[in-house]
Chain A
Amino acid sequence: MMKPKGWRELTPGAVILEAGNAVEFKTGSWRAFRPVWREENCIQCLFCWLYCPDMAVIVRDGKRADFNYDYCKGCGICALECPGKKGNKAIIMQEEGK
């Protein structure tokens, strides 16, 4: 996290010049439940990536990789929307710290 600036150091109009610098703020600590990816049940539908409100599902070259736990807030949308394979979900929610 950056140090708060005094008014003299702010840009005119408090314009933020660095695009997308919110990545410096990690929201992963908000999480109470952690999504766990089970690769063997994954059909690569990418719905988890599409519906994730926190852009916390990593996709490389069109293939799903793991979660980005630095930002995942643990809402569980991915787990609910996951179609899984033969009725077995590829994402399950686990309580943090257990």
Chain B
Amino acid sequence: MATPRLRVSKKILEEINAQIEDEIVREFAKSLLQFELENWRIEKLHFKDFFTDQLTIYCRRRMQKL
């Protein structure tokens, strides 16, 4: 059994690329949207762990860059 991958709309991605200059913020935003899309149908989604982990990962990446 295989699992398909959903795609965030091209328009939203284009807008993210155009509006967000900071690469870290851009990638962080995309990762959150992808997560939401893949869990779209789940009413009571446990999002906090994923969001906090992603925030930590991207924040450390940013601090390393600095």
Whether both chains belong to one complex is answered with no
B residues bordering A, Cβ < 8 Å? Answer: none
State the A residues within 8 Å of B (CB): none
